[in-house]
Structure 1
Amino acid sequence: MSMQLNYNWLLVLLSYAVSVLGSFTALQLAVAIPLAATQRQKTAAVVMAGGAMGLGAIWAMHFIAMLACDNGMDVSYDASLTALSALVAFAACVAGLMLVGSGRFDWLRLLAAGICMGLGVAAMHYIGMAAMMMPAKISYASGLVALSVVIAMVASTVALWLAFNLRGPLQMIGSALVMGVAVCGMHYTGMAAASFEDNGGQLPDGYAEGLRGGNLGLTIFVVVTILLVLMLVLHYWRQRYRSSISI
């Protein structure tokens, strides 16, 4: 029997908030990529921006939103698959930023980077879904899965274009709000593609050792938010320091 999904709306809102903050941080950090004087500085800027986008805006949003979902049974998460999903999101965003920022900006490079990053984001989502351990089987509606992948690629392409074409803080705030909607749209489309069917109460191996807890979603939100704010503070401090020594 297929189970109906219910959501903790506080965690849903927090997942959107962390996605917006992660997107804004990534956009701010991405400004330094084309301005980097050395390859080492460019690599550092790409890694920082990729971390903010991949781990903050995308992975943290995904995991908090997963914890917001209630399918009527206790769920734990395989730690290794959860870590792999985070690594995939980070690597995909770094690869996309590196590809589009490695030479002269053009639409072909942007499209290739967006597809690469979008496929990585979609892979992160479904690896994260595979990490769910519960007495149920998951099946997917192929049409909605395909739609979620398309949304991920479009959102990634837009994020990369914004990262290399916007400079004003107000434009970046507006873009981050839109990116939060796009990232959440991909996630909840992927969730709508999933159907959960009770397997008779049979728990998978490793269930007891999995990640779970009533406050896990809030804890992830607080930790990731603190890290993103620290990244922003460090970025602004570096900008002011460089401006002061160039005068």
Structure 2
Amino acid sequence: MPMPMSYNWLLVLLSYAVAVLGSFTALQLAVAIPLARNQRQKTAAVAMAGGAMGLGAIWAMHFIAMLACDSGMDVTYDPAITALSAVVAFAACSGGLLLVGDGQFSWLKLAGAGTCMGVGVASMHYLGMAAMMMPATVNYDYGVVFLSFVIAVAASMAALWLAFNLRGPLQMIGSALVMGVAVCGMHYTGMAAATFEDNGGQVPDGYADGLRVGNLGVTIFVITATLLGLTLVLHYWRQRYRSSLSI
């Protein structure tokens, strides 16, 4: 029999907030990719923007939102699979940014980069789901799973287009708010695809050594928001410093 799920709405709101902050930071940092003067600068710009989007806007949002879900049973998370999901998110976003930001912008490159990034982001989500260790089995509605992949690809294409076509601060704030909705929409669509069924109390190996919930959701938000904030401050400082040198 499927187990009912409820949500901690504080963590839901924090998941959206970190998605918006991560998206805004990534949009700011992505501007440096096509302006890079050499490969070292381009690699650094891609890594910074990819980290902000992949680890901040997407992975942290996903994990906080996972912790917001309450199925009425104790859940721990496999540390290795959880870490792997973060690597996948970072690699997918960095790869998408590199593909679309290298050379002349085109719709064909946008489609390819968006697909790469979207499939990676959706894969990260289901890897994160696989990291859950609990006395239950998870079944999926594959039609809804497919829909979540479509949303992920569409959101990725939108994020990449915005990153390389908008420059004004107000436009970027608006874009980040929209991206937060898109990222959360993909996650909660993926969650809607899952049904949890009690397996009689049997827990998988390693359950006792997994990451436990507690205040983990708020902790991840605080750490991620602090790192993103510091990244923005450093980015703005470097911009002002370079501007002062050119005067």
**Would you identify which runs of 4 or more consecutive aligned residues in structure 1 move more than 6 Å?**
none
Measured against aligned partners, the alpha-carbon deviations of 1:134-160 in whole angstroms (never above 9, x if no partner) come to 000000001100000000000000000
2:91 matched residue in structure 1:
91
1:34 matched residue in structure 2:
34
1:101 matched residue in structure 2:
101
CA distance in 2, matches of 1:117, 1:38: 24
Q: Percent identity?
A: 79
1:235 matched residue in structure 2:
235
Q: For residue 88 of structure 2, give the secondary structure of its aligned residue in structure 1.
A: helix
Q: For residue 211 of structure 2, give the secondary structure of its aligned residue in structure 1.
A: coil
1:218 matched residue in structure 2:
218
Measured against aligned partners, the alpha-carbon deviations of 1:34-62 in whole angstroms (never above 9, x if no partner) come to 11111111110010000000000000000
1:64 matched residue in structure 2:
64
Counterpart code for 2:200: G
Measured against aligned partners, the alpha-carbon deviations of 1:191-218 in whole angstroms (never above 9, x if no partner) come to 0000000000001100010001310000
Total equivalences in the alignment: 247
2:82 matched residue in structure 1:
82
Counterpart code for 1:154: A
2:115 matched residue in structure 1:
115
CA distance in 1, matches of 2:107, 2:39: 23
- The root-mean-square deviation of aligned C-alpha atoms, in Å, is 0.4
Alignment of 1:107-146 (within 5 A): 107-146=107-146
Measured against aligned partners, the alpha-carbon deviations of 1:90-114 in whole angstroms (never above 9, x if no partner) come to 0000000000011110000000000
1:244 is aligned to 2:244: yes
CA distance in 2, matches of 1:168, 1:102: 22
Counterpart code for 1:102: D
Measured against aligned partners, the alpha-carbon deviations of 1:14-43 in whole angstroms (never above 9, x if no partner) come to 000000000000000001111111111111
CA distance in 1, matches of 2:141, 2:203: 24
Counterpart code for 1:63: F
Alignment of 1:195-214 (within 5 A): 195-214=195-214
1:49 matched residue in structure 2:
49
| Contact 2:75–2:213, Cα closer than 8 Å, also in 1 | no
1:180 matched residue in structure 2:
180
Measured against aligned partners, the alpha-carbon deviations of 1:167-207 in whole angstroms (never above 9, x if no partner) come to 00000000000000000000000000000000000011000
Counterpart code for 2:126: Y
CA distance in 1, matches of 2:213, 2:157: 35
Q: For residue 72 of structure 2, give the secondary structure of its aligned residue in structure 1.
A: coil
Q: For residue 176 of structure 1, give the secondary structure of its aligned residue in structure 2.
A: helix
Q: For residue 144 of structure 1, give the secondary structure of its aligned residue in structure 2.
A: helix
| Contact 2:135–2:204, Cα closer than 8 Å, also in 1 | yes
Counterpart code for 2:84: L
CA distance in 1, matches of 2:92, 2:35: 22
CA distance in 2, matches of 1:102, 1:213: 40
Counterpart code for 2:40: R
TM (norm. structure 2) is: 0.99
Q: For residue 2 of structure 1, give the secondary structure of its aligned residue in structure 2.
A: coil
Q: For residue 197 of structure 1, give the secondary structure of its aligned residue in structure 2.
A: strand
Counterpart code for 1:229: G
| Contact 2:92–2:121, Cα closer than 8 Å, also in 1 | yes
